[in-house]
Each structure stands twice: as structure tokens, then as C-alpha cells.
């Protein structure tokens, strides 16, 4: 599991890329054979919460090189209150769920939409 803390400004489109590396080789893990696996990522106020404040769109940006992309739209970041949250990224393949990334997420003020 990769532990990565994120800083997200409010009112903007947000994107984060993660490269999942093999510890033995240092190369990106190929997810090419996992095309049927489903990535999911939730933003929670508490790491043990069943409810969530937002849902990242989670995709394989470059499956052959182990790159995962998380995105939130400006409307989603605007809906988040400033403060500390927790998030995780899970890959589900059949009935097996593997946590890939987790961490804290700090949401800050951001760009005002009114001028």
C-alpha cells in the first residue's frame, strides 16, 4: 500500500497520478492483465467511516506502466468543506479487493468563482 497525503484546493479540477512500483524491480507494475478489475476511491471524514464526502474518478492512466489517475471536478472540490479528510484507492477483481493507495487529504480555500 502506498501512503500518500494530498493537498486539494477548492473550486478547481483536480488530478493526481500514482505509479505503483514493484518493490523488487523498481519498475511500474503492469495492470494490463487486470482490465476487468474495478478501481474505486472514496474521500471520507474518518478512515473508518462507511459514508463518504466525495468519490474520485479512478482509472488506469497507463495500465502497462502501473499508473493510476484520480480526478475530481471543480464542482466536487467546491462541495468539499475546507479541512482534513482520508481517502483510499481499491482495486476489485471478482470478490478480491486490494487497497493500493491511502492517505490523508487536506482541502484548502482555493480559487473564488465570483469576481
- The pLDDT assigned to 94 comes to 79
Cell numbers that stand for 73 in this block: 471536478
CA dist 5 to 8, 18, 46, 105, 106, Å?
Answer: 10, 12, 14, 6, 8
Task: Count Cβ atoms below 10 Å from residue 73 Cβ, excluding itself.
Answer: 13
Q: pLDDT digit string (tens) for 48-83?
A: 888 999 999 999 898 888 899 999 999 999 999 999
Which tens digits make up the pLDDT trace of 7-55? Answer: 999 999 999 998 988 889 988 888 877 666 789 999 999 988 889 999 9
101-110 per-position pLDDT tens digit: 999 999 998 6
Query: How much is the average pLDDT of 95-103?
Result: 89
pTM of the model: 0.84
> And the C-alpha cell for 49?
467511516
Q: Are 99 and 3 in contact (CB under 8 A)?
A: no
Are the beta carbons of 14 and 8 closer than 8 angstroms? yes
Amino acid at each position: 500500500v502506498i501512503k500518500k497525503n494530498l493537498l486539494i484546493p477548492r473550486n478547481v479540477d483536480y488530478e493526481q497520478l500514482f505509479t505503483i512500483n514493484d518493490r523488487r524491480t523498481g519498475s511500474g507494475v503492469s495492470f494490463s492483465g487486470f482490465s476487468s478489475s474495478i478501481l474505486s476511491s472514496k474521500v471520507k471524514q474518518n478512515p473508518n467511516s462507511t459514508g463518504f464526502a466525495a468519490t474520485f474518478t479512478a482509472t488506469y492512466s497507463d495500465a502497462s506502466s502501473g499508473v493510476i489517475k484520480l480526478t475530481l471536478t471543480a464542482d466536487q472540490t467546491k462541495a468539499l468543506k475546507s479541512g482534513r479528510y482520508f481517502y483510499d484507492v481499491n482495486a476489485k477483481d471478482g470478490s478480491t479487493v486490494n487497497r493500493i493507495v491511502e492517505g490523508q487529504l487536506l482541502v484548502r480555500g482555493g480559487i473564488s468563482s465570483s469576481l
